[in-house]
Chain A
Amino acid sequence: MAKKRIFEGLKIADFTWLGVGPIAMKFMANMGATVIHIESSTRPDICRVSPPYKDWKPGINRSAFFAVYNDSKYGITLNLRMPQAQVVAKKLIREWADVVADAHLPGIMEKFGLDKETLRKDKPELIHIATALQGKTGPYSTMPGHGMVGVSLGGITQVTGWPDREPTVPFGALTDFLTFPHMITALIAALLHRRKTGEGQYIELSQLECSVQFLAPPIMDYMINGRILGRMGNRSTYAVPHGVYRCKGEGEKWCAIAVYSDEEWRHFCSAIGNPRWTKEPRFATFMGRKENEEELETLVEEWTANYTPSEVMNKLQTAHVTAGVVASGEDLVADPQLNYRGTHIIQEHPEIGPHIYHPPPYRFSKTPHELTMPAPCLGQHNEYVLKEILGLSDDEVADLLIAGALE
């Protein structure tokens, strides 16, 4: 029996770059859509020219940063500043695509003659989905940007770190990763609508507006109660101890522990062998433990220091206490649960060689994900897409090549 794919036959022309758009369309590809990713060597995706590079050796086709966000797609290069390339892009959209995705600043798609009005005029069933750091309208929308500063604009930096120190910046382009699931949601909602009515639409996302969803309660807290959220380190209002503790071993060996209820506190005490201090009255109640939290944390760390992070996690989880290793990249590669679940999927990339990709973080019981191929090298599928999909002749392709439209 043929494999079941959710979006079998759905065709996406993916003009996006960086994080949000590429990942969202990669997920669609993993769920069965055919995705053609359009780039240009005149303005390479910044992910292509940023590490991690295979064996530290830079190269336009050697970064996993790009690869992991673009597997299972065909890749073509079009220099959309050239009219000949714009003709190809329009042909691809008019004759082939169900969906156009873009992640350009306002004005860029317009400059290429690929604005939403033009695209949807002859093809009302087309879905055009666009994402930008601050959306496509408004006084700040034309500012260039990326998720590594988006995380600051979006309010997350300010509330990460210790109360007595300057803010810590979350490592990656976090707002990209908070936005792309919303892009998928909006796109599928539009596809459901199109299936019912035959009608396409234009959808626009702002990374800022998506990531602000994840700070909605503290923003309401400011609006209603006048409180500005500060940094709390690892402290929690609901659990004590609640922190990250140093464990045995060389280098950065840590385990996170969270004890929520009196019952969990009793489990915790028995898991660590009921040392005498656990019987002290000041630790008997939640309020008491909160009041003496700093001292409690020192005592907890005296215990964790005797064991590796995995030993601490295993002892506590076995006793029904919430605990987990602070995993490094190396630990994540070896993580038994991730490996059981098939989180790490090796694909053989033509230049990088075999390396690790990931499926979406959910599994369907009847329509398994497919990572059909590694990420494309720059322009890898020009011939295939132009000739097989668009039906251009050898001569037409040669003309494009000579004109520089395929750069």
Chain B
Amino acid sequence: MSDSKKNSGLLSDYRILDLTDYKGVYCGKVLADLGADVIKVEKPGGDSTRNIGPFYRDVPHLERSLYWWAYNTSKRGITLDIETADGKDIFRRLVKAADVVVESYPPGYMDKLKLGYAALSKIKPDIVMASVSAFGEAGPYKDWKADELVGWAMAGQAYVTGDDDRPPCQISFPHGYLVTGSHAASATLAALYYRELSGEGQHIDVSMQESVLWTTLQLVQFWDMMNLNLFRAGSRRSMGTALFRLAFPCKDGHVGFLIAGGQLASISMPPLIEWMAEEGMLGAFEDKKDWGPKDWTEKVDAMALTQETVDAWEDSLIKFFANKTKAEIYEKAREKGMIIYPVSTTKDLAENAQLKDRNFYVKVEHPELGETITYAGSPYKMTVAPWRISRRAPLIGEHNREIYEGELGLSKDEMRQLKEARVI
């Protein structure tokens, strides 16, 4: 490994074999953008994630999936059929030079191929293996199938999402498995840290159901502590209280705000009411115009507010916001220090001034298109050896020669035979 490569990132000492489909794809991206040498191992013909849209210039094509692009940055890519005897043999050779294997096959699949943790740790005793699955590697549901919708449902999120007069609802760009991948990444690093201390590798079992459960706001605890099943109520929500609105319509969309009581109200309500008074639109807040932060902390207990009061307050706010745009409200919120935010569209996010100021979006070369594409940037700013996208996502089998010939020393003839046998 050249010196420049060694210094290219925090994790450049590590090689990771990434056998995941969309269920674990984010794990490898996180590690690759931090400098790890992540090799995506796809089945010949390409991984199914390549079929997920949207697509570049709306042309469905295995090399044009924006989903594939977004979540496979900085990885190299090879094709390999690990179900064939030759493929297994090659995979075992790759494992010998790797630090981590991450996979998202159904539980037991890798074991059946004799490529599970037990088998791989015989070849490479300190290997770290991370397995991402819907429900975990063991248990009554281990063989059950879950897509994003079913995961969202079985982890409790669907129950609390959606309008009350329609079925429970998911996010239209669901992210359950991506979140699972983010957990797999941190768990993998923890296991590598332990390996540095002890010399020992180990197996990590990551569950999507549990990962999504960690995105709920304590549905389990509301039942455990208060015998209360939290429920869905559109853009409003209750925590054993009156229903509070979290999104208010305005002139060109919605803004996010929560009246609440206590500390939260003490921050936003006095300046908001001052603003309403300036425009002569106090409405139901007429008697609160002289209230300071302390009054809101001490006199308003969100748990005790009646629905009638909350509705009256919210109606006044809806009237007040009706002739104002998201941007106008957001600017005023910044000026006055109120916790009011735009309900952003994907366009708003692409144009977001804060993200621009922090140089969040980054340009990535796509030599195969002769173009530069804009990508979401780093989730963290680190002062030492920063995050970066070192290359766009791999094309199908793009690094077969580099890895099979260059590193494993296969001959051109062997390469041809393996290709004809559809092993690579």
Contacts and interface: CB of A to CB of B under 8 A. Distances in A.
Interface size class of B (residues with CB under 8 A): 35 or more
A332 B156 contact: yes
Contacts of B383: 201-203
A216 B382 contact: no
A225 B57 contact: yes
B339 A160 contact: no
B169 A185 contact: no
B193 to A, nearest CB: 6
B214 interface: yes
A347 B207 CA distance: 22
B223 A51 contact: no
B206 to A, nearest CB: 4
B346 A215 contact: yes
Of B146, B155, B182, B342, which is in contact with the most chain A CB atoms at under 10 Å from its CB?
B182
A206 B264 contact: no
Contacts of A210: 379-380
B196 interface: yes
B349 A215 contact: yes
A4 B194 CA distance: 9
Given A138-B354, A140-B354, A216-B71, A317 B169 contact: no
A224 B190 CA distance: 37
**Interface of A: prevailing SS:** mixed
Interface string A181-194: 11111101111110
A337 B209 contact: yes
Interface in A204-248: 204-206, 208-210, 212-225, 227-234, 236-239, 242-246
Contacts of B84: none
A319 B303 CA distance: 46
A205 B182 CA distance: 15
A224 B57 contact: yes
Interface string B317-349: 000000000000000011001011111111111
Nearest to A236: B149
B205 interface: yes
B218 interface: yes
Of B167, B303, B376, which is in contact with the most chain A CB atoms at under 10 Å from its CB?
B167
B169 A160 contact: yes
Contact of B204 (A64, A242, A364): A364
Given A169-B256, A190-B382, A317-B145, A185 B156 contact: no
Interface string A329-355: 111110111101101100000001001
Contact of A365 (B136, B203, B232, B333): B203
A268 to B, nearest CB: 12
Interface string B347-359: 1111011110110
Interface stretch (A81-89, A141-149, A394-402): A141-149
Interface in B131-150: 135-136, 138-142, 144-147, 149-150
Interface in A142-168: 142-146, 148-162, 165-168
Of A4, A148, A199, which is in contact with the most chain B CB atoms at under 10 Å from its CB?
A148
A233 B225 contact: no
B240 A324 contact: no
Given A135-B381, A152-B342, A329-B156, A185 B254 contact: no
List the 6 closest A-B pairs by CB distance, nearest first.
A172-B217, A152-B256, A329-B223, A361-B210, A64-B221, A324-B150
Given A52-B228, A186-B379, 18 more contacts: A139-B334, A149-B341, A152-B247, A154-B344, A167-B343, A172-B218, A181-B179, A203-B382, A204-B381, A208-B352, A224-B66, A233-B166, A238-B52, A324-B146, A336-B139, A340-B140, A363-B205, A365-B203
26 contacts: A52-B225, A144-B267, A149-B257, A149-B258, A169-B256, A171-B232, A177-B179, A178-B182, A188-B192, A190-B382, A192-B192, A203-B382, A204-B380, A212-B349, A217-B54, A220-B54, A224-B373, A231-B172, A258-B149, A317-B145, A321-B145, A327-B158, A328-B159, A358-B210, A361-B210, A362-B206
